[in-house]
Structure 1
Amino acid sequence: MWRTTASRLRAHCRPHALRRLYSPPPPRVDPPVTPSEARRLVRLVGVEALKRRLRDGPREAIGYGELLDACVEAGAARTRDDAEGLARAMDDAGVLLLFRDKAYLHPEKVVDLVRRAVPLALEVEDDPRKEELRQLQEKKDDIDKLAHKQVRCILWSGLGLITSQIGLFFRLTFWELSWDVMEPIAFFTTASGLLVSYTYFLVTSRDPTYQDFMERLFLSRRRKLCAKHRFDMDRYLELHRHCKCPLEGRYPNGSKLHSL
């Protein structure tokens, strides 16, 4: 009975109905871009072109009216009122600085000048960190003097070693042995010095000069002395940076203005 019923259903079903039943759904079509969205995209492109034009220009500041004209010419604003709103938005975002009918195109430079001039007026008289910095400065000076003294001792020891080597070669050449024996020894000794210099250049990526060697030796000795005397170099640098420019201590995000 069930088989008879199923065969009758298959016979009465039309082919197009079966295709409609088993056909995949139609592809999804995204709605078209509306005029308001198109105007917004065009405005964003104009804003980016305006920012690039202002940043890449040779001038540090322009007039406010000239800025509004540039906004309209770049397509970032359609009317003068839209240009004024865009200028205020760019000022709030830190892209430029509006001050006394002028538009400063590099606000980070203005902030740098203010940070250099204002700290003396904002500095607190009875700041306990000043006393801590003074104590750390005295301790650092003592460590630097000791490190410099140790470096000088090492350099004088090197001079004594070179002088002793020359005296030994002189003695072996003219008294103990002969030049025929000492010539290859002197050659390989000189070649070993060149090998050491080249190895120094490969390791440090700097020219193997006596001045550079002395500076690196001084930094190494100072680092070891700081660890020995438990001197907190990070704390010292933090206090030195704060006392030099208190704005960084009060406004932690102030240093980020330079990367805008």
Structure 2
Amino acid sequence: MAFRIALARRLLNLSKTVSSFSSSLAPPPTSSSAAAVPKLGLLHQSHARFPFAVTGDLPHRVGDRIRLEYLSLPDEEQRVTVSQARKVLRAAQMEAVREKLKGLGRSCISYAEFVQICGNVPGIETSTGLAKALDESGAVVVFGDVVFLRPEMVAKAIERMIPSPAQDESETEELRAMEAKKAWIEKAAAAAVRREMWAGLGFIALQTAGFMRLTFWELSWDVMEPICFYVTSAYFMLGYAFFLRTSRDPSFEGFFQTRFDAKQAGLLKAHGFDVDRFHRLRKRRRAMAIDA
């Protein structure tokens, strides 16, 4: 109750002050009008200033009519806290940095230059803190010492590297078909090399049988001994030349692998098999298996 009375008195004093101030700004009356109705003008001004009678119990009557329950303070949720104010200032600072970065007209800059640009913008955040905030918000992308100013371009490049499910399925089917075709080609090449090896074995057997006939029936050992020596030397020279050409041991396994590679390359070319495409698909499949 006492607070209401005090508030009413302050309002009354304020109204008196405003009335006196407005009367001082009013122009003075002329002599004719003052002489004509002097008392009527004063009475009108008095009623204009205070339209009601000012008595001693006026503050009490006005105080009873003041409803303090309608004068409520704002809720706690509507008040701006210090953290919210810092967040707003930080957002404004980040927006200023983004505008500066757009004005550069480049797609990437060094991290040192990026931190320097952040430091030139006034605000509550430090240069390193602002740079980290921009990186975390996705406004820029930091890769080591390089800062990409257009994250959408980086995202598109990554999307091009990651195949879609439909593309992945088609590539898987293509890889399976190529693997089946390559397995058939390898099997055919191995069979062809085995036939060559069997032919070589037959040639050596016939040569040995011929040398035996020449040694024991047609000619003598004295004649065939130097012939066998030179034939053996020729085989040794062929093995040495094979090693110099292929860098493999002149053994039956080395001969087989060399002939297999040659036969396989010929069959792959004859059937139009894209070896580079096959290796790319296998590499991509391994990478996807590791990521999964």
Task: Please give the TM-score of this superposition, normalised by the length of structure 1.
Answer: 0.47
Determine which structure has more spread, i.e. the larger CA radius of gyration.
Answer: 2
Task: Please give the TM-score of this superposition, normalised by the length of structure 2.
Answer: 0.42
Which is bigger in relative contact order (C-alpha 8 A, separation at least 6)? Answer: 1
